[in-house]
Amino acid sequence: MGNSLDNRTIFRFAKAFRSGGGMEQYLNDIDTVLLRKNKVRIVRMYLEEGTRDHEHKVRNIGRGSLIEVPFHVSAAKDDPKRRMRAVGKNRGTLFNELVRDLLVYNPILYSILFRRLLGLFYPRPGKYNIYDAREKLRKLNEQYRFDLIVMHDIGTTDSQEIIEESNKLDVPYVFVNHYSNDRFRNVSIREQLGGAAGIAGVNAFGVPRWVRKRFVNLSDGIDTEFFSVENAKPLQVGKDLPIIFYPARILPVKGQMDLLKAAVNLKREGVQATLVFAGRTDSHEYEEELKKMTQESGLNEDVIFVGQLNVEELRDWYGISTVLGFPTYHQEGLGRITIEAQAMKVPPVAYIIGGTPEGIRHGKTGFLVKKGDLHTFTQRLKELLTDENKRKKMGEAGRKFVLENFSLDALAERHEKFYLSALTNARRNIPWGN
């Protein structure tokens, strides 16, 4: 197979839009670097609501080309009660994991009994349902002839269609998990990984036993030259107050409500700051809840919603920010914004969840707080807002930490090795439990 991706065609299956989130930026960064280094063609799908057809967008980058293809979806109806129940939900227990490993996926019992039973209730439909995923892949393959399919989302009905069609086309597929490794406990995901030529994630925390031998940690990376204080343009913000910045999709599991409550507590303690929320609104109902609480708490002049930012605007906001707040309940793979913030010498205060500990050196480049511990979270924010020397020291250490561990070139090299290994070992099935 050789040691280069040259003259290959890769298809990316991802539940991501063209822009607006950490996943989207990750894909854009890795594709850009891979294309600069390799004579490769990458066909990347993106979600688009509606059914109107759009032409494929082709961009020549470096030595290769990126082809963006819209996959039309219908979004599941937003249910406030379901949304709030999801916040802080425990994804699995030791007992459940033991039952899966020792009983359900016992090689003999699985082949005789459980494979058929599991087929009755998996896979899940997912929040966004892609129209005719199987047919779309077949037609795209006729046009571009894929060598490898990289799955960035799995465990749903449409991903099952993609996998089944890839098997028919004899094109190997791999999976990259961008969230907490708890997701590997999901039965639907485990089922669909049976024929994967490779399995990877963005952190090494909590990888289940059954997948450890096959797991590759791709981690994350950012353009550290772009994300530097020197390149940030000055912004004018009403009051001359410290800024607590939180760029994330407006969604309950992202925990903006906790940050808003922390801002209320800080004000009561005499610490004034401007709270800035940035990001795509994925739940208008939740955004209204946040704005209502802002008004009821008397923080109208201290809270700003700036909406979805492009990458230059995001960098510029980091440039004038004092601290990053990251009270997420989402099963984060790593927490990309913590890396970006530290590259910009902005220390983060984050909940411990998923792979967030891999992206922060507690007490040195930022603070990690037990999920849901609002009191400690507030006090850590206060500590950074009021202690300039500590904040600057952490900022310098954070920049150095990112430069040493999260470069784009290193990220690209890890992806190249992972893809080439999958191509070399394509179609090799690993028995459950091994």
User: Cβ atoms within 10 A of the Cβ of 246, count?
Assistant: 24
The predicted pLDDT at position 125 comes to: 59
The pLDDT value given to residue 48: 84
- CA-nearest of 157, 88, 50 to 351 is 88
User: What value does the mean pLDDT of the chain take?
Assistant: 87
Cβ contacts of 163 within 8 Å, gap of 6 or more: 151, 154, 173, 192, 195
The mean pLDDT value for 159-183 works out to 94
Q: Of the ranges 79-88, 237-246, 357-366, which is most confident?
A: 357-366
In this prediction, residues 176-202 reach a mean pLDDT of 90
Q: pLDDT, tens digit, for every residue of 153-163?
A: 998 889 999 99
Residue 244's contacts (CB-CB under 8 Å, 6 or more residues apart) are 259, 263, 273, 274, 275, 276, 321, 322, 323, 324, 325, 381, 385
User: Which of 3-12, 18-27, 135-144, 217-226 comes out lowest in average pLDDT?
Assistant: 18-27
Q: Where in the chain is the domain with CATH 3.40.50.2000?
A: 9-78+122-221+408-424, 229-405
Q: What is the pLDDT of residue 429?
A: 47
Which residues are within 8 A (CB) of 92 and not within 5 positions of it... i.e. 6 or more apart?
Answer: 182, 185
Which whole number is the average pLDDT over 205-225? 91
| Whether 277 contacts 305, CB under 8 Å | yes
User: pTM (2 decimals)?
Assistant: 0.80
pLDDT grade for 360, boundaries at 50, 70 and 90: very high
Q: Residue 87 above 50 pLDDT?
A: no
Band the pLDDT of 283: cuts 50, 70, 90: very high
Spatial distance between the Cα atoms of 168 and 427, rounded to a whole number of angstroms: 12
Instruction: Provide the token pair at 58.
Output: 């082709």
> Domain 229-405, CATH 3.10.180.10 — does that match?
no
- What is the mean predicted confidence (pLDDT) over 51-67? 86
> 327 CB contacts (<8 Å, ≥6 apart)?
255, 256, 258, 259, 262, 350, 351, 369, 374, 377
Query: Which has more pLDDT, 346 or 82?
Result: 346
CA nearest to 328, candidates 55, 45, 145, 86: 86
Quick check: 252 and 86 in contact, CB under 8 A?
A: yes
> What residues have CB less than 8 Å from 168, skipping those under 6 apart?
none
Q: What is the pLDDT of residue 329?
A: 93
- Two tokens, residue 230: 């020197």
Which has the minimum average pLDDT: 27-31, 73-77, 92-96, 133-137?
92-96
pLDDT at residue 96, as a whole number:
61
Q: Which amino acid is at 327?
A: P
Upstream peptide bond of 247 is cis (omega within 30 degrees of 0): no
Q: What is the pLDDT of residue 187?
A: 79
Residue 73, φ and ψ in degrees, nearest 5: -135, 160
pLDDT at 42: 98
Q: What is the pLDDT of residue 117?
A: 63
**pLDDT, tens only, 287-345:** 999 999 999 999 999 999 999 999 999 999 999 999 999 999 988 888 899 999 999 99
Question: For tokens 């808003």, what's the residue?
Answer: 260
The CATH architecture to which 9-78+122-221+408-424 belongs is 3-Layer(aba) Sandwich (3.40)
Residues in the chain, overall count? 434
Which residue reads 């790593």 in tokens? 334
d(CA 48, CA 71): 6
Task: Note the pLDDT of residue 78.
Answer: 47
Q: For residue 211, give both structure tokens.
A: 């997948």
Kindly write down the DSSP assignment for every residue of 17-82, as one continuous string: -SSSSHHHHHHHHHHHHHHHHS--EEEEEEEEESS---PPEEEEETTEEEEEEEEEEEEPPP-HHH
Closest CA to 115 of 182, 192, 174, 184: 192
Q: What is the DSSP letter of 362?
A: B
Q: Return the percentage of the chain with pLDDT > 70, whole number.
A: 84
pLDDT at 54: 65
Confirm if 29 and 219 have CB atoms less than 8 A apart.
no
194 against 375, higher pLDDT: 375
Question: Is 70 exceeded by the pLDDT of residue 84?
Answer: no
Q: Give 87 or 281, the one with higher predicted confidence.
A: 281
Is 369 within 8 Å of 389 (Cβ atoms)? no
Question: Given this model, what pLDDT does residue 110 score?
Answer: 54
**Euclidean distance between CA atoms 256 and 271, whole angstroms:** 19
Residue 303 pLDDT = 96
Three-state secondary-structure class, residue 166: helix
